[in-house]
Chains A and B, each alone.
Chain A
Amino acid sequence: MDKKFTVPEISCGHCKETIEKALDVDGVSNVMVDIDTKAVSLSISDSIEMTTVASLLDEQGYTVVQS
C-alpha cells in the first residue's frame, strides 16, 4: 500500500538520510523523501502498521503529519 505524509522537521539532506535509514526495515519499501515539500512517500506491506512507521520516526525525533 502506498502512503504519503508530511514530516515538518525535515530541513536538509541529513534529515533525508536519517529517515531513509530509520525506515530501512522489513515491510517498508520505496522510501522517498522530498526535502522541499517535507514530504515522505513509501509503500508498506500488510505485515506492518502505519503506527509502527510513525513510532520509528518518532524515535529519531520526527513527527508524522498525515496529509
Chain B
Amino acid sequence: MNKATQLSKVNETLTLDLEGMTCAACAARIERVVSKDESIESVSVNFPLKKAVITYQKNLNIEELIKKINSIGYSANISAPKEDDKTNYVATFFIPFLSLVFSAGISRGFQSDDAFISYLLGFTVIFIFGKRFHISAFKKIRHLEFNMDTLISLGSLSSVAVSLLPSSNSDMFIDAGAYIISFVLFGKAVEEISIKDSINVSEAIKNSRPQNAKLLSDKNIQIKKVSDLTTGDLIGISPGEIIPIDGIVINGTSSTNEDFLTGESRPIDKSPGDNVLAGSINLDGYLEVEVKDGAVSTYDLIESLILEAQSTTPSIQKVLDRITQFFVPTILALSLFTFLYRFLIQNTDLIRSLEIAISVLVIACPCALGLATPIILYKASSLAYRDGFIFKNFDKLQNVRQLNKIIFDKTGTLTSGVFNISKIDTSDTNLSEDTVLSYVASLEIKSNHPVAKSLVLEAEKRELPLFSSEQVKEDIGSGIHGIVNGTQVLIKRKKGIENILDISIGDQNVSIDLEEDLTINDELLQSIKHHYDISILSGDSSEKVDILAKRIGISNALGNQTPEDKLQYVKNIQQNEKVIFIGDGINDSPSLQQADVSITTSISSQIAQASSDIVIQSGGLEKILSIKNLAAKSSMRVNQNLFLAFIYNTLMIPVAVSGNISPKLGALAMAMSSISVVVNSSRKLTN
C-alpha cells in the first residue's frame, strides 16, 4: 500500500444542515444519493434534526456533494460549529443605540443650520440601519401583501421624501422616520435577547431532563451522559423512555413509537438485530441497545424541538399582521385621497399637497409597535421559568386563560402518585419480605409505572441489593415479567382488586398489598374548581375513581379508561369546546397531543413531557392557577401595549390630513407612544 492510499483511507466527518425535507422518505433519498459517491464511507440523514452526518475519505469534493444534494431539490450547507451562545447585550443593542443617538442628532443639526449633517445621520439610520425593513417590505409588496415592515418602511421612506421637498419647515420630518427605525430596532433587539434567553432556559430544561443513559457492562449498570456514549456501548432502555441514541437492539423485544420522527403512529416491533432511532419511544419491553457508529442523540433532538416551538410566530403577531394588512392600504388610500382633494379640489399647490399627503403616511406609522409584544413575551417566559413552569409557545399559554375545561388523569396528577406497601404476604413460602422486594424491585426498576417506582423506592429505603434481570417485558396496565438472577419472576395486578399485586418468583407465590397515597389539597382543588370544569379520566378501576371523585366532589369521573378511551373522550369534548389535558404517563401521550393545551410535570415520562405544551418543573397543581394568572396578565399587557402604540399616531392622522401637523407634533406622538409602551411593559407583570 502506498502512502497516497493510506492517506486517503483516513476518514473525516462532515455535518450538513439540510433544508427542504418534508418526510422521512426525503431523508432516505438523500442518503441514497449521497452514498453513491465512492469517497463516502457512511451517511446518516436525520429528518427531524434536518442534518446529515457523513463520514468520508479525504479526497471527497464537498462542493460537488452539496451540488448533488441541491440538484435533487434540497439545499445543504456545512453546519457551522455551535457558536458561543452567551448573550451579548452590548453587541445586540449597539446598532439600536447608535441609531437612536443619530436620530437625536438630526434635530440638533437642523437647529444649528447644519442640514448636511442631519441628512447624513437621517440617511444612515433609514437606509443603512433600516435596510432589512425595506427589503422585507419590498418582497411583500410585490405580492400585494402588507405587514409591519411595510408600515415601517413606508413611514420612514415617506419621511425622507417629505423632508426633501422644497418647502419651508418640513425637512424636520426626517427625524421622525429615523426614530421609527430606531425604536423598531430596539424592539427587535429585545426580541433577540429574549429568544436567546429562552434558549438558555431550554438549556436548563434539557439539563433537568434525564439526559443520561444506563450503560451496561458485565452485570453492572452505570449511569452515563448520553453525550459521552461511544460506538459499541451497550445501553439499557426501559419502557416509556425515549431512546436516547441511534443503535441496534442486542437483547430484548419491544415495540417503539416513531411518530415523532416519521409520522407513523403504529407501534413498530423491535427484536435483536433491529435498528432503533433516537427520539423514538420504547413502549412495552426492556431493550438492550448497542450504540451505532455516527449515532444521533435525542439530546440534539429535544433541542431542535424546543427551538421549533420558540420559532413559531405567536398568534398575536398574526393578529398584528392582519391589522396592518388592513391598516396599510387604508392609510395609503387616505394619503392619496388627501393629496387629490388638496391638489384638485382645493387647488393647493403641488408641493404643499404632496407634503401634507406624505405627512399622513409618516404620522400613521406607530413606531412603538415593534416594542409592544417582545418585551412582554420576554418577561412572561422568564417569570414562568422562575415560577417553576415552562411553556413551549406563547399561544398555548394564552389558551390556558381562555379554556375552562380540564381533564385530569388522576394517578400522579391530582394525587401524589406514590404507593405505600401495606403488606407483603409471604405466608405460603420460605422467602423473606426483603428477598421478595429485592426480586420485585430488580424487575420493576426497568419500568416507569408509578407502582414500579414506588416499589423500587421502598427497596432503596430498605437498602436491599438489586439483581440483574433479562427478557423483561411490560404488559402495560397489567404487569411485568422477566428473569431475575436466573429465576422467572412475574408481577401482575390481581384481577378485580386494584391494589394487590400477585407475584410469582420461580414456583413460589406471594402478594403485595399497596395503598395509594390519596392526599389532596382540598383548598387548592376548590379554587381550581372555581375556574375550571374538571373531569377525571383514569385507567384505575371505576370503583376507585368513584370513591375519589365523591370525596372531592367531581361529577365527571370515569375509571377503566384505556388510552384510546381517553383520546376518544378528548375528541368528543373538542366537538363543542376546547380542552386542557393534564397527564403524566406513557398512556396519556395521545390525549396530551390531541388536547388544545396539555400540561405535564417534569417527573412524568419523557414522552409525556415531549407531547406537552406546558411542563411544570417544580410544584404541583397550584401551578395551574399561576399559569392562568400569567396568561391573563401577559395577554392584557400586550393588548394595552398595542393600544398605546396605535392611539397617539391614530389621533394625529386627522391633524395630518387637515394639514396642521408639524414635525414637532409628529415627534411628540412618536415619543409618547414609545414611552407609554415601555413604561407599561416595565410595570410588574404579576402580583
Contacts and interface: CB of A to CB of B under 8 A. Distances in A.
A61 B22 contact: no
A61 B33 contact: yes
A61 B23 contact: no
Interface in A15-34: 15, 18
A11 B23 CA distance: 8
B72 A14 contact: no
Nearest to A14: B22
Given A9-B28, A18-B72, A60 B33 contact: yes
Contacts of A10: 25
Contact of A12 (B25, B32, B72, B73): B25
B140 interface: no
B369 interface: no
Contacts of A13: 22
A61 B30 contact: yes
Contact of A62 (B22, B29, B31): B29
B32 A61 contact: yes
Interface string B15-34: 00000001111101111110
Nearest to B72: A60
A1 B25 CA distance: 29
A13 B23 CA distance: 10
B23 A14 contact: yes
B33 A11 contact: no
Nearest to B30: A61
Contacts of A15: 23, 25-26, 29
B245 to A, nearest CB: 25
Contacts of A12: 22-23, 25
A61 B24 CA distance: 13
Contact of A9 (B22, B29, B73): B29
Contacts of B33: 59-61
Interface string B204-237: 0000000000000000000000000000000000
Interface in A39-67: 59-62
Contacts of B23: 11-12, 14-15
Contacts of B72: 18, 59-61
A18 B25 contact: no
A12 B26 CA distance: 9
Nearest to B21: A14
Pick the most buried of A10, A18, A61: most chain B CB atoms within 10 A of its CB. A61
Contacts of B28: 9, 61
Nearest to A60: B72
Query: Which secondary structure dominates chain B's binding surface?
Result: helix
A29 B23 CA distance: 27
Contact of A60 (B22, B24, B29): B29
Interface in B15-55: 22-26, 28-33
A12 B25 CA distance: 8
Nearest to A21: B73
A43 to B, nearest CB: 24
A65 B655 CA distance: 74
Contacts of A62: 29
A18 B73 contact: yes
B563 to A, nearest CB: 26
Contacts of A18: 29, 72-73
B339 to A, nearest CB: 48
Interface string B65-76: 000000011000
Contacts of A14: 22-23, 25-26
Nearest to A10: B25
Given A18-B72, A60-B72, A61-B72, A11 B32 contact: no
A61 B134 CA distance: 41
A26 to B, nearest CB: 20
A9 B33 CA distance: 13
Contacts of A60: 29, 33, 72
Nearest to B26: A14
Nearest to B24: A11
Nearest to A13: B22
Nearest to B33: A61
Contacts of A59: 33, 72
A59 B72 CA distance: 8
A17 to B, nearest CB: 8
A44 to B, nearest CB: 22
A12 B29 CA distance: 12
A11 B264 CA distance: 11
A6 to B, nearest CB: 14
A14 B22 CA distance: 7
A13 B28 CA distance: 15
Contacts of B25: 9-12, 14-15
A9 B658 CA distance: 67
A55 to B, nearest CB: 12
A11 B29 CA distance: 11
Interface string B391-425: 00000000000000000000000000000000000
Nearest to B68: A59
A13 B22 CA distance: 9
Contacts of A9: 25, 28-29, 32
A16 B548 CA distance: 54
Nearest to A22: B72
B592 to A, nearest CB: 26
Nearest to B20: A14
Nearest to A11: B25
B106 to A, nearest CB: 51
B223 to A, nearest CB: 38
B459 to A, nearest CB: 47
A6 B266 CA distance: 24
B277 to A, nearest CB: 16
A16 B72 CA distance: 13
A12 B33 CA distance: 18
A11 to B, nearest CB: 4
A12 B28 CA distance: 13
A62 B31 CA distance: 11
Contacts of B30: 61
13 contacts: A9-B32, A10-B25, A11-B24, A12-B22, A12-B23, A12-B25, A14-B23, A14-B25, A15-B25, A18-B73, A60-B33, A61-B29, A61-B30
Interface of A: 9-15, 18, 59-62
- 5 shortest interchain CB distances as A-B pairs: A61-B29, A11-B25, A61-B32, A14-B22, A61-B33
Given A10-B25, A14-B26, A59-B33, 7 more contacts: A11-B24, A14-B25, A15-B29, A60-B29, A61-B28, A61-B33, A61-B72
